[in-house]
């Protein structure tokens, strides 16, 4: 994941509206794919975000994907700990590979969106306050 994405996330998550913060966390838990277009389309349909512009919706999408990636990190940690306890190598390795592939795809999508948001990330965060 690009370092600027982590900086953007830290700056945003502490400052955005609590409703948007909740929306980010809930959507990150339910994010199954990493298709940026479908995520932004779903956000456009969200009643809480109806007045937001496209760039602001993309910023929320980035926050959701970063949170989903952080959730995947936690899942991966749980798998490693479970593997150490149970010595169940086969299932854990397959799950680990799936999570790592998911994180890799997510990082690409985040990088793509961060390039689009690069000129004005602070302004987007201010718009989400």
Over residues 67-74, the mean pLDDT reads 93
Query: Which region among 10-24, 80-94, 104-118 has the lowest average model confidence (pLDDT)?
Result: 80-94
Q: What is d(CA 118, CA 30) in angstroms, rounded to the nearest whole number?
A: 27
Q: According to the model, what pLDDT value does residue 89 have?
A: 63
79-102, pLDDT tens digit by residue? 888 777 776 666 678 888 989 999
Around 44, how many Cα atoms within 13 Å sit in the side-chain half-sphere? 10
pLDDT confidence band for 5 (50 / 70 / 90): very high
Structural contact between residues 118 and 6, judged by C-beta atoms closer than 8 angstroms: no
Q: According to the model, what pLDDT value does residue 33 have?
A: 64
Q: According to the model, what pLDDT value does residue 91 have?
A: 67
**pTM given for the model:** 0.87
* Helices 89-117 and 54-86: angle between axes, nearest 10 degrees: 160
Q: According to the model, what pLDDT value does residue 71 have?
A: 93
18-69, pLDDT tens digit by residue? 999 999 999 998 887 657 778 888 999 999 898 999 899 999 999 999 999 9
Structural contact between residues 29 and 71, judged by C-beta atoms closer than 8 angstroms: yes
Task: For 32-64, give one letter per residue: b (16+ CB within 10 A) or e.
Answer: eebebeebeebbeeeeebeebeebbbbbbbbbb
């Amino acid at each position: 994941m690009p370092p600027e994405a982590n900086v953007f996330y830290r700056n945003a998550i502490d400052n955005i509206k609590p409703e948007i913060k909740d929306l980010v966390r809930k959507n990150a838990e339910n994010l199954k794919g990493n298709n940026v277009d479908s995520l932004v389309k779903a956000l456009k349909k969200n009643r809480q975000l109806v007045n937001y512009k496209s760039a602001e919706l993309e910023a929320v999408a980035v926050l959701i994907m970063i949170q989903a990636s952080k959730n995947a990190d936690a899942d991966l940690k749980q798998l490693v700990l479970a593997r150490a306890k149970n010595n169940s190598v086969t299932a854990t390795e397959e799950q680990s590979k799936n999570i790592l592939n998911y994180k890799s795809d997510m990082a690409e999508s985040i990088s793509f969106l961060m390039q689009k948001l690069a000129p004005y990330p602070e302004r987007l965060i201010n718009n989400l306050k």
